[in-house]
Protein backbone atom coordinates (compact mmCIF):
# COMPACT_ATOMS: atom_id res chain seq x y z
CA UNK A 1 0.00 0.00 0.00
CA UNK A 2 1.23 3.50 -0.83
CA UNK A 3 2.57 5.43 2.12
CA UNK A 4 0.82 8.53 3.45
CA UNK A 5 2.66 11.82 3.12
CA UNK A 6 2.68 15.17 4.93
CA UNK A 7 1.94 13.63 8.32
CA UNK A 8 3.35 15.04 11.56
CA UNK A 9 3.02 13.64 15.04
CA UNK A 10 2.74 15.29 18.44
CA UNK A 11 4.19 12.47 20.50
CA UNK A 12 4.52 14.35 23.74
CA UNK A 13 3.77 12.75 27.05
CA UNK A 14 0.40 12.93 28.75
CA UNK A 15 -0.03 16.17 30.71
CA UNK A 16 2.68 17.90 28.67
CA UNK A 17 0.48 20.20 26.59
CA UNK A 18 -0.29 18.18 23.45
CA UNK A 19 -3.98 19.13 23.45
CA UNK A 20 -3.20 22.83 23.73
CA UNK A 21 -0.50 22.75 21.06
CA UNK A 22 -2.74 20.80 18.66
CA UNK A 23 -5.45 23.44 19.11
CA UNK A 24 -3.00 26.26 18.41
CA UNK A 25 -1.46 24.60 15.35
CA UNK A 26 -4.86 23.81 13.87
CA UNK A 27 -5.55 27.53 13.61
CA UNK A 28 -3.20 27.58 10.62
CA UNK A 29 -5.12 27.22 7.36
CA UNK A 30 -2.79 24.50 6.06
CA UNK A 31 -3.06 22.22 9.09
CA UNK A 32 -5.60 19.50 9.79
CA UNK A 33 -5.56 17.75 13.17
CA UNK A 34 -7.06 14.28 13.22
CA UNK A 35 -10.50 13.74 14.69
CA UNK A 36 -10.35 12.40 17.27
CA UNK A 37 -7.23 14.32 18.21
CA UNK A 38 -5.73 11.09 19.50
CA UNK A 39 -6.68 8.34 17.04
CA UNK A 40 -4.18 5.97 18.70
CA UNK A 41 -3.99 4.14 15.39
CA UNK A 42 -0.46 2.79 15.81
CA UNK A 43 -1.23 1.49 19.31
CA UNK A 44 -4.83 0.67 20.23
CA UNK A 45 -6.55 0.82 16.82
CA UNK A 46 -4.06 -0.65 14.38
CA UNK A 47 -6.34 -3.56 13.59
CA UNK A 48 -8.94 -1.15 12.14
CA UNK A 49 -6.76 -0.63 9.07
CA UNK A 50 -5.36 2.35 7.20
CA UNK A 51 -8.68 3.29 5.60
CA UNK A 52 -10.04 3.93 9.09
CA UNK A 53 -6.97 6.04 9.86
CA UNK A 54 -7.40 8.11 6.71
CA UNK A 55 -10.98 8.89 7.69
CA UNK A 56 -9.68 10.48 10.90
CA UNK A 57 -8.40 13.38 8.80
CA UNK A 58 -11.22 15.58 7.54
CA UNK A 59 -10.22 16.64 4.05
CA UNK A 60 -7.27 16.13 1.73
CA UNK A 61 -6.20 19.69 0.95
CA UNK A 62 -4.02 20.32 3.99
CA UNK A 63 -0.28 20.65 3.66
CA UNK A 64 0.23 18.97 7.04
CA UNK A 65 -1.91 16.37 8.82
CA UNK A 66 -1.31 16.10 12.57
CA UNK A 67 -1.82 13.03 14.75
CA UNK A 68 -1.54 14.02 18.42
CA UNK A 69 -1.66 10.59 20.07
CA UNK A 70 0.31 10.62 23.33
CA UNK A 71 0.24 6.81 23.38
CA UNK A 72 2.94 6.80 20.71
CA UNK A 73 5.59 7.66 23.32
CA UNK A 74 4.53 5.17 25.99
CA UNK A 75 6.36 2.03 24.91
CA UNK A 76 7.49 -0.50 27.53
CA UNK A 77 11.19 -0.03 28.19
CA UNK A 78 11.80 -2.44 31.05
CA UNK A 79 9.78 -5.66 30.93
CA UNK A 80 11.05 -6.63 34.37
CA UNK A 81 8.86 -3.94 35.97
CA UNK A 82 5.58 -5.24 37.33
CA UNK A 83 2.64 -4.52 35.07
CA UNK A 84 4.72 -3.72 32.00
CA UNK A 85 3.24 -6.65 30.07
CA UNK A 86 0.01 -4.64 29.87
CA UNK A 87 1.93 -2.02 27.92
CA UNK A 88 2.83 -4.30 25.00
CA UNK A 89 0.09 -2.70 22.89
CA UNK A 90 2.21 0.47 23.01
CA UNK A 91 5.27 -1.23 21.55
CA UNK A 92 6.42 -1.22 17.94
CA UNK A 93 5.03 2.23 17.11
CA UNK A 94 8.10 3.60 15.28
CA UNK A 95 8.21 0.50 13.04
CA UNK A 96 4.52 0.85 12.17
CA UNK A 97 4.87 4.56 11.43
CA UNK A 98 7.89 3.86 9.23
CA UNK A 99 5.87 1.31 7.26
CA UNK A 100 2.86 3.61 6.78
CA UNK A 101 4.18 7.18 6.58
CA UNK A 102 6.70 8.71 4.20
CA UNK A 103 9.18 11.14 5.83
CA UNK A 104 7.11 11.95 8.94
CA UNK A 105 8.01 14.79 11.29
CA UNK A 106 7.72 14.63 15.06
CA UNK A 107 7.13 17.31 17.66
CA UNK A 108 8.01 15.83 21.02
CA UNK A 109 6.53 17.72 23.96
CA UNK A 110 8.57 17.43 27.14
CA UNK A 111 7.71 18.37 30.71
CA UNK A 112 9.64 17.98 33.95
CA UNK A 113 8.97 14.24 34.42
CA UNK A 114 8.54 14.62 38.17
CA UNK A 115 5.70 17.12 37.87
CA UNK A 116 4.31 15.35 34.82
CA UNK A 117 3.92 12.08 36.73
CA UNK A 118 2.24 13.84 39.66
CA UNK A 119 -0.13 15.71 37.33
CA UNK A 120 -1.05 12.48 35.53
CA UNK A 121 -1.71 10.79 38.86
CA UNK A 122 -4.25 13.41 39.92
CA UNK A 123 -5.81 13.37 36.47
CA UNK A 124 -6.46 9.65 36.93
CA UNK A 125 -7.72 10.17 40.48
CA UNK A 126 -10.26 12.76 39.28
CA UNK A 127 -11.39 10.42 36.51
CA UNK A 128 -12.02 7.70 39.06
CA UNK A 129 -9.35 5.44 37.57
CA UNK A 130 -6.90 5.60 40.45
CA UNK A 131 -7.39 4.66 44.11
CA UNK A 132 -3.83 3.92 45.15
CA UNK A 133 -1.45 6.33 46.83
CA UNK A 134 1.06 8.12 44.63
CA UNK A 135 3.98 6.13 46.04
CA UNK A 136 2.16 2.83 45.49
CA UNK A 137 1.55 3.89 41.90
CA UNK A 138 5.22 4.66 41.33
CA UNK A 139 6.38 1.30 42.63
CA UNK A 140 3.65 -0.84 41.04
CA UNK A 141 2.78 0.71 37.67
CA UNK A 142 5.56 1.34 35.14
CA UNK A 143 3.20 3.51 33.04
CA UNK A 144 3.85 6.53 35.25
CA UNK A 145 7.61 6.10 34.96
CA UNK A 146 8.28 4.98 31.39
CA UNK A 147 6.35 7.87 29.81
CA UNK A 148 8.70 10.32 31.51
CA UNK A 149 11.80 8.50 30.25
CA UNK A 150 12.02 10.68 27.17
CA UNK A 151 15.51 9.50 26.28
CA UNK A 152 14.42 5.87 26.28
CA UNK A 153 11.33 6.58 24.18
CA UNK A 154 13.28 8.72 21.71
CA UNK A 155 15.93 6.05 21.16
CA UNK A 156 13.23 3.69 19.90
CA UNK A 157 12.36 6.21 17.17
CA UNK A 158 15.96 6.94 16.24
CA UNK A 159 16.30 3.37 15.00
CA UNK A 160 14.06 4.40 12.09
CA UNK A 161 14.14 8.20 11.82
CA UNK A 162 16.96 10.79 11.90
CA UNK A 163 17.25 13.20 14.81
CA UNK A 164 16.57 16.18 12.55
CA UNK A 165 13.03 14.90 11.95
CA UNK A 166 12.28 15.79 15.57
CA UNK A 167 11.53 19.11 17.19
CA UNK A 168 11.54 19.26 20.99
CA UNK A 169 9.17 21.57 22.83
CA UNK A 170 9.40 22.08 26.58
CA UNK A 171 6.01 22.46 28.21
CA UNK A 172 7.32 25.13 30.54
CA UNK A 173 8.52 27.29 27.64
CA UNK A 174 5.29 26.81 25.72
CA UNK A 175 3.31 28.10 28.71
CA UNK A 176 5.51 31.20 28.90
CA UNK A 177 5.81 31.86 25.16
CA UNK A 178 2.96 30.20 23.24
CA UNK A 179 3.21 32.46 20.18
CA UNK A 180 6.93 31.84 19.79
CA UNK A 181 6.46 28.11 20.29
CA UNK A 182 3.73 27.87 17.64
CA UNK A 183 5.76 29.94 15.17
CA UNK A 184 8.76 27.67 15.63
CA UNK A 185 6.60 24.58 15.17
CA UNK A 186 5.01 25.89 11.98
CA UNK A 187 8.42 26.73 10.54
CA UNK A 188 9.64 23.25 11.45
CA UNK A 189 6.65 21.83 9.58
CA UNK A 190 7.55 23.93 6.55
CA UNK A 191 4.47 26.16 6.67
CA UNK A 192 4.15 29.84 5.83
CA UNK A 193 3.68 32.00 8.93
CA UNK A 194 3.07 35.27 7.09
CA UNK A 195 -0.34 36.78 7.82
CA UNK A 196 -1.01 34.06 10.39
CA UNK A 197 -2.83 35.50 13.41
CA UNK A 198 -2.74 33.20 16.42
CA UNK A 199 -5.48 33.27 19.06
CA UNK A 200 -4.17 32.05 22.40
CA UNK A 201 -6.92 31.00 24.85
CA UNK A 202 -6.85 32.12 28.44
CA UNK A 203 -4.91 29.82 30.72
CA UNK A 204 -6.75 26.96 32.34
CA UNK A 205 -7.44 26.87 36.04
CA UNK A 206 -4.84 25.19 38.20
CA UNK A 207 -5.20 21.51 38.99
CA UNK A 208 -7.93 20.41 41.35
CA UNK A 209 -9.41 17.35 43.03
CA UNK A 210 -13.01 16.60 43.89
CA UNK A 211 -14.14 17.06 47.47
CA UNK A 212 -16.63 14.70 49.14
CA UNK A 213 -19.65 16.36 47.52
CA UNK A 214 -17.94 16.44 44.16
CA UNK A 215 -17.03 12.76 44.41
CA UNK A 216 -20.65 11.82 45.11
CA UNK A 217 -21.96 13.90 42.21
CA UNK A 218 -19.28 12.52 39.90
CA UNK A 219 -20.11 8.92 40.88
CA UNK A 220 -23.72 9.44 39.78
CA UNK A 221 -22.71 11.20 36.56
CA UNK A 222 -24.16 14.53 37.67
CA UNK A 223 -21.02 16.61 37.09
CA UNK A 224 -20.65 15.34 33.52
CA UNK A 225 -24.24 16.22 32.62
CA UNK A 226 -24.19 19.60 34.34
CA UNK A 227 -20.90 20.62 32.71
CA UNK A 228 -22.53 20.23 29.29
CA UNK A 229 -25.53 22.46 29.97
CA UNK A 230 -24.23 25.21 32.26
CA UNK A 231 -22.65 28.40 30.89
CA UNK A 232 -18.97 29.00 31.64
CA UNK A 233 -19.58 31.41 34.51
CA UNK A 234 -21.92 28.97 36.26
CA UNK A 235 -19.48 26.09 35.81
CA UNK A 236 -16.75 28.18 37.44
CA UNK A 237 -18.96 28.81 40.47
CA UNK A 238 -19.93 25.16 40.67
CA UNK A 239 -16.30 24.04 40.51
CA UNK A 240 -15.55 26.06 43.65
CA UNK A 241 -18.24 24.12 45.50
CA UNK A 242 -17.26 20.59 44.45
CA UNK A 243 -13.45 20.80 44.29
CA UNK A 244 -10.41 21.48 46.43
CA UNK A 245 -6.78 22.16 45.65
CA UNK A 246 -4.35 19.36 44.88
CA UNK A 247 -1.83 18.93 47.70
CA UNK A 248 1.83 19.54 46.83
CA UNK A 249 3.94 16.49 46.06
CA UNK A 250 5.69 15.16 49.17
CA UNK A 251 9.40 15.87 49.52
CA UNK A 252 10.10 12.13 49.70
CA UNK A 253 8.26 11.34 46.48
CA UNK A 254 9.77 14.35 44.74
CA UNK A 255 13.28 13.31 45.71
CA UNK A 256 12.67 9.68 44.71
CA UNK A 257 11.43 10.67 41.25
CA UNK A 258 14.13 13.29 40.77
CA UNK A 259 16.84 10.73 41.44
CA UNK A 260 15.11 8.16 39.24
CA UNK A 261 15.10 10.50 36.24
CA UNK A 262 18.47 12.20 36.82
CA UNK A 263 20.59 10.00 34.54
CA UNK A 264 17.83 9.67 31.95
CA UNK A 265 17.48 13.45 31.75
CA UNK A 266 21.22 13.85 31.42
CA UNK A 267 21.29 11.44 28.47
CA UNK A 268 18.38 13.28 26.85
CA UNK A 269 20.18 16.59 27.13
CA UNK A 270 23.38 15.14 25.68
CA UNK A 271 21.57 13.46 22.78
CA UNK A 272 19.33 16.35 21.73
CA UNK A 273 21.25 19.41 22.86
CA UNK A 274 18.12 20.93 24.40
CA UNK A 275 18.34 22.74 27.73
CA UNK A 276 16.37 21.24 30.60
CA UNK A 277 18.21 23.09 33.34
CA UNK A 278 14.86 24.30 34.72
CA UNK A 279 13.83 20.73 35.58
CA UNK A 280 14.40 19.40 39.06
CA UNK A 281 17.76 17.93 39.91
CA UNK A 282 18.72 15.67 42.84
CA UNK A 283 19.61 17.51 46.03
CA UNK A 284 23.13 17.17 47.28
CA UNK A 285 23.56 14.22 49.64
CA UNK A 286 24.37 15.49 53.13
Task: Check residue 286 and give its pLDDT.
Answer: 26
Q: Identify whether residues 212 and 185 lie together within a single domain.
A: no
Predicted pLDDT at 2:
83
d(CA 106, CA 112) in angstroms, rounded, equals 19
The total domain count for the chain is: 2
Q: With respect to residue 196, please indicate whether it lies within any of the assigned structural domains.
A: yes
Residue 1 lies in a domain: no
Domain span at 140 = 7-203+258-272
Supply the pLDDT for residue 284.
39
Clarify whether residues 141 and 37 are in a common domain. yes
Whether residues 128 and 162 share a domain: the answer is yes
pLDDT (0 to 100) of residue 79: 56
**Same domain, residue pair 44 and 88:** yes
* Residue 178 belongs to some domain of the structure: yes
Q: Are residues 175 and 239 in the same domain?
A: no
Are residues 148 and 33 located together in one domain of the fold? Answer: yes
CATH code of 54's domain: 3.40.50.300
- Pair 173, 220 in one domain: no
- Confidence at residue 41, expressed as pLDDT on a 0 to 100 scale: 97
Same domain, 45 and 77: yes
Same domain, 195 and 215: no
Q: What is the pLDDT of residue 12?
A: 84
Residue 174 and residue 115 in one domain:
yes
Tens digit of each residue's pLDDT (9 = 90 or more) over 192-234 = 998 788 888 765 545 555 555 555 545 556 556 656 676 666 6
Query: Has residue 107 been placed in a domain?
Result: yes
Q: Kindly state whether residue 132 falls inside one of the protein's structural domains.
A: yes
Examine residue 279 and state whether it is found in any structural domain, yes or no.
Answer: no
Whether 277 is in a domain gets the answer no
Residue 159 CA, chain-centre distance (Å), reads 22
pLDDT at 44: 94
Note whether 43 and 75 are same-domain residues.
Answer: yes
In a domain? residue 174: yes
Burial-class residue 34 by CB neighbours within 10 Å (0-12, 13-18, 19+). Answer: buried
pLDDT along the chain (286 residues), means of 10: 90 89 94 94 95 86 91 82 64 96 97 93 86 89 88 97 97 93 96 88 56 53 62 58 71 93 95 89 47
Both 83 and 217 in a single domain?
A: no
Amino acid sequence: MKKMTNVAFLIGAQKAGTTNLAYLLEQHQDVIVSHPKEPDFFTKNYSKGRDWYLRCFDGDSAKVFIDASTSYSAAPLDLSISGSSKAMKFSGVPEKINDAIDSPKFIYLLRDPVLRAYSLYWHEVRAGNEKRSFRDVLTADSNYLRIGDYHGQLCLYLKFFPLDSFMFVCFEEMVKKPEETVTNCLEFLGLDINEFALKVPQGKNKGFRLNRLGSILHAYGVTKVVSKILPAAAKTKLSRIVTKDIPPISKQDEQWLTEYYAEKNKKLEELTGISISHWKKPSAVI
